[in-house]
Amino acid sequence: MVTARIRTDQPSRAAHEGIAVRVSLKDVAAHAGVSIKTVSNVVNNYQHVTPAMRERVQRSIDALGYRPNLAARHLRKGRTGIIALALPELGNPYFAELAASVIDAASEHDYIVLLDHTGGMREQELLVSQGFRARVIDGLILSPIELEAEDLRDRAQDVPLVLLGERDYDLPYDHIAIDNVAAARAAVRHLICLGRREVAFIGARRGRSEPAQLRVRGWREELTAAGLSADEGLVAATDGWGHADGALAMNHILDSGRRPDAVFAYNDPMAIGAMRVLHERGLRVPEDIAVVGFDDVIEGRFGAVTLTSVSPDKAAIGRLAVESVLARLNDRAPEPRRIWADYRLAERESTLGRPAAGKVTDV
């Protein structure tokens, strides 16, 4: 069969007219009357090329509209220029914002991001970590939820892996996170300083125990340190981490007859779900119950009651994750590191004495 490729005398014109033309180094070389490798040298900014030659070849490149074939380059070099980012859920705005920050950071290094989501399910996380979902990647940034250390232990080390988030493995991989225990303690301390004495925790994960563990621990430690009781009856387990889960958990606590004067939620959507329930039940935030969330997502700043939240430096996390992956790719790979990103506590109406009045706060 005749190859379906279209060649014209004036490919540049053809290209301009929108006809598919694939131009290879070979074509450029022929056009410029030099060898393929010389063209390659020009394309790759090889040092020893005379300005005259560079000029001449560049002219042909422009004329033909040549663009390197990445598949071939990849096959040859073993690099794709793609890193994968696997997150539990895109629906959670925290992860969406994180994804944006990773994409931007990667793009600064001329890397492109392949995005995947696991739903926080071990099965999916396993597939991702072993590269079965995306097999064209130079590196992987994974934010695991259910994955166990053992799942990662016998992973083929083909592509470098960087872990994100709250899970705490003892494994030879870079891990980027904020200090969850300290951050949780800061949040709870803030509540205690407001005079709250019964602080509920919403969002311990039902079933497998690990996720949220660190934040629960922070909650427990801080209460204990303050001489208050860390009453496990005030810890509400949930199946997921969405608004609805927060609402369910809040209802559950209130239905059990408890009346905490503060709630610390695993994340913002859950805190907002909880606030909705409080509103429905006629409980005032923060007068009756103060609420603190985690992640500082944008929507927390625009509710009827704006939400106090632990605010991780998402931009830094994205940047650090990308840099870690690329460092390992380029063999500048030091010992596996635990990298702590910054965070702060963004205080808003949900923990203030007086609720809103005036202008939109803290945008």
- Which tokens belong to 343? 């965070």
| Span 49-108, contacts to DNA by CB under 7 A | 49-50, 52-53, 66, 68-69, 72-73, 75-77
- Min CB(94)–its own copies separation in Å: 10
* Of residues 136-175, those binding its own copies (CB under 8 A): 136, 153-158
Q: How far apart are CA 128 and CA 143, in angstroms?
A: 11
Q: Which stretch binds its own copies (CB under 8 A): 29-37, 267-275, 321-329, 335-343?
A: 267-275
283: tokens are 């409980």
Q: Which amino acid is at 225?
A: A
Does 304 help bind its own copies (rule: CB under 8 A)? yes
Strands 343-346 and 308-312: antiparallel
CB of 211 to DNA, least distance (A): 37
Say which entry of DNA, its own copies, none residue 36 contacts (CB below 5 to 8 A, set by partner kind). DNA
Residue 329 binding DNA, by CB under 7 A: no
**For residues 343 and 177, what is the distance between their CA atoms, to the nearest angstrom?**
10
Closest approach of its own copies to the CB of residue 353, in Å: 17
Does 21 participate in binding its own copies (rule CB under 8 A)? yes
Instruction: Supply the minimum distance, in Å, between the C-beta of residue 258 and its own copies.
Output: 19
For residues 82 and 126, is the Cβ–Cβ distance under 8 A?
no
- 288 to 307, contacts with DNA by CB under 7 A? none
State in angstroms the smallest separation of the CB of 46 from DNA.
7
Q: Which does 133 bind (CB under 5 to 8 A by kind): DNA, its own copies, none?
A: its own copies
With b for 16 or more beta-carbon neighbours within 10 A and e for fewer, the 59-98 pattern comes to ebbebbebeeeeeebeeeeeebbbbbbbbbbeebbbbebb
* Closest among 178, 144, 193 to 294, alpha carbons compared: 178
Give the nearest distance from C-beta 58 to DNA in angstroms: 12
Residue among 144, 257, 260 nearest 202 (CA): 260
Please report whether residue 242 would count as binding its own copies according to CB under 8 A: yes
Residue 346's φ and ψ, nearest 5 degrees, are -90, 110
CA distance 244 to 258: 20
Question: Contact region for its own copies (CB under 8 A) — 29-37, 89-97, 197-205, 256-264?
Answer: 89-97
Which one of its own copies, DNA, none is in contact with 153 (Cβ closer than 5 to 8 A by kind)? its own copies
SS (H, E, C) 136-203: CCCEEEECCCCCCHHHHHCCCCCCCEEEECCCCCCCCCEEEECCHHHHHHHHHHHHHHCCCCCEEEEE
Stretch that binds its own copies, among 56-64, 115-123, 224-232, 335-343 (CB under 8 A): 115-123
Question: Closest approach of Cβ 322 to DNA, in Å?
Answer: 22
Tell me which stretch binds its own copies (CB under 8 A): 132-140, 195-203, 215-223, 254-262. Answer: 132-140
Check residue 93 for interaction with its own copies (CB under 8 A).
Answer: yes
Q: Which does 301 bind (CB under 5 to 8 A by kind): its own copies, DNA, none?
A: its own copies
Which helix (H) or strand (E) segment holds residue 83: the answer is strand 82-87
Residue type, 294: F
Is the alpha carbon torsion for 30, 32, 38, 43 positive or negative? negative
Q: Which is nearer to its own copies, 166 or 268 (CB)?
A: 268
Q: Based on CB atoms, which residue is closest to its own copies, 327 or 355?
A: 355
Report d(CA 148, CA 141) in Å as an integer. 16
- Footprint of DNA on residues 7-26 (CB under 7 A)? 22, 24-26
Which partner, DNA, its own copies, none, binds residue 280 by CB below 5 to 8 Å per kind? its own copies
Q: Which amino acid is at 69?
A: N
Binding interface with DNA (CB under 7 A): 1, 3, 22, 24-26, 34-38, 40-41, 43-44, 47-50, 52-53, 66, 68-69, 72-73, 75-77
